[in-house]
Structure 1
Amino acid sequence: MRKIVFEDAHRQKHFDFFRNMDQPHFNVCIQADISDTLDAIKKEGLHFTSTLVYLVSRAANSIPCFRQRIRGEEIVEHAAVHPSFTVQTQVSEVFSFCYVDYQPAYPQFVEAVRSAIDRMQEDPSFEDEAHRDDYLFLSSLPWLRFTGLTHAMHYSPVDSVPRITWGKFYKEGTISRIPLSVQVHHALVDGRNVGEFCELFEDLAANPADWAV
């Protein structure tokens, strides 16, 4: 983790402007192409949820501002940020939060995700570790082909953790698409950065042979 200091005075003004807003987050939703990944999931018997968590986590970790967090008057940048994602459980109708450490190797990451999901089935958790901000908050709405989304959250103290959600995949001609919502703190992340994230996500999804080994 390192401290970030803006050397560009205009960038600092941009940060201060959005940081002081009552609602500093913005949300973008795209219909992402996951055709090649979905084919690989079906042909290779890959685990769908683990694979989506991996793709989102890898894309987010590749972009520095997705790893940056606001702490009081300071900005820190984590070396890696880790997914805390929602899963259904066997003991309740409501979801559980499920945490795993991010790692770039797909097989090891998926094994960790599936083990974490199994643990949550009988002993669900609803709290992330206090005072940590090196999370990515991920969730899914597998029942909906949504085109927009808002999240319940506290804005004070400053919460600058990105929230990324995917929905029900569907066919559009020969293309398999999935709703993908990206919510970020505007003081840290611009639309250009969200565009970079979405492009990287789709690029990863289009090339499963590069990571599903």
Structure 2
Amino acid sequence: MRHIDIDQWERKEHFQFFQSRRNPCMAVTAPVSVKNLLAFRNRCDAAAKPRLSDCLYYAIMHSASSVPELRLRLVDLRPVEFAAVDAAFTYLPRGKSLHANCVAGYDADFSRFVAAMQAAREAADASPTLTPAGGESQGLIYMSNLPDVAFTALSNPWGDPWQDSVPRVVFGKIDKAALTLPVALEVLHSFVDGRHMGLFFERLEAVLADAQRSFPVG
């Protein structure tokens, strides 16, 4: 985590302007192609087929991590840049009707990331909670899945923007005709502009388009 010298920061004026708003959040929802991802999964042997949500969570984390502005946060009221951020995601534990929150370390290696995700799910099965270890960190990307909703816009609950600076990403129901799914990205405009959000979606599409390389199985 690197503290930013705000007086030498190119973004100083923008940060102070938006952070003084009552609601400095900005959200974009866009359809993202999953055509190549679905085709890739259909070619996989049943035993080796990766979980669809794991592929999407990995693609989100990979893409968000590659945009420095999506790794900017507030810690102790000061802007910082995290060198790496981890995954925080919702999950419905076995036998439960309410979701739990999970935290898994992000790894650029897909198989290691999947293992971390599965370990987090198993921990939630054993002891479901909304406040898992590591969940208090700002060095996260919050993610969730609404597989039954083909939403066209979405907003998330936020806390005090001086304490809660983590981007949110939610994906929804696949359009079986277009082979797209909606992805909503919500951020603090204090750190992130529209062009940075555009970079995220561009890189997300690229990861999903090259599914065989992005999600190696064996």
TM-score strictly above 0.5: yes
**Equivalent of residue 210 in structure 1, options 190, 199, 213:** 213
Aligned residue type for 1:126: L
**Native 8 Å contact 1:40 1:46 kept in 2:** no
* 3-state SS of 2:74 partner: strand
Aligned residue type for 2:109: A
How many angstroms does 1:48 deviate by? 0.9
In structure 2, what is the equivalent of residue 104 of structure 1? 108
- Superimposed CA distance per residue, residues 21-80 of structure 1 (whole angstroms, 9 cap, x where no aligned partner): 110111100010111112222322111111111000010111111111023442111111
Structure 1 unmatched runs, 5+: none
Distance 2:37 2:85 in 1: 23
**Equivalent of residue 47 in structure 1, options 43, 51, 62:** 51
**Native 8 Å contact 1:50 1:114 kept in 2:** no
In structure 1, what is the equivalent of residue 71 of structure 2? 67
**Native 8 Å contact 1:105 1:211 kept in 2:** no
State the TM-score, normalized to the length of structure 2. 0.90
How many angstroms does 1:183 deviate by? 0.1
Aligned length: 210
Instruction: Establish whether residue 35 from structure 1 lines up as the match of residue 35 from structure 2.
Output: yes
Instruction: Write out aligned runs for 1:151-162 (5 A).
Output: 151-162=156-167
Q: Mean Cα displacement is larger for which, 148-157 or 26-35?
A: 148-157
Q: 1:202 to 1:130 in 2, by over 3 A?
A: closer
Distance 2:210 2:78 in 1: 38
Quote the sequence identity (%): 28
Distance 2:55 2:68 in 1: 22
How many angstroms does 1:120 deviate by? 1.6
In structure 2, what is the equivalent of residue 139 of structure 1? 144
Aligned residue type for 2:58: Y
Q: 1:130 to 1:89 in 2, by over 3 A?
A: closer
In structure 2, what is the equivalent of residue 13 of structure 1? 13
State the TM-score, normalized to the length of structure 1. 0.92
Q: 1:81 to 1:181 in 2, by over 3 A?
A: same
How many angstroms does 1:202 deviate by? 0.3
**Equivalent of residue 169 in structure 1, options 174, 178, 183:** 174
In structure 1, what is the equivalent of residue 99 of structure 2? 95
Distance 2:135 2:122 in 1: 23
Distance 1:8 1:2 in 2: 13
How many angstroms does 1:155 deviate by? 2.2
Aligned residue type for 2:97: E
Instruction: Establish whether residue 183 from structure 1 lines up as the match of residue 186 from structure 2.
Output: yes
Distance 2:17 2:98 in 1: 37
Cα RMSD, aligned residues only: 1.6
Aligned residue type for 2:100: S
**Equivalent of residue 125 in structure 1, options 113, 129, 132:** 129
* 3-state SS of 2:169 partner: strand
How many angstroms does 1:208 deviate by? 1.4
Aligned residue type for 1:180: V
In structure 2, what is the equivalent of residue 80 of structure 1? 84
Distance 1:119 1:72 in 2: 29
* 3-state SS of 1:170 partner: coil
How many angstroms does 1:166 deviate by? 0.3
Distance 2:5 2:94 in 1: 46
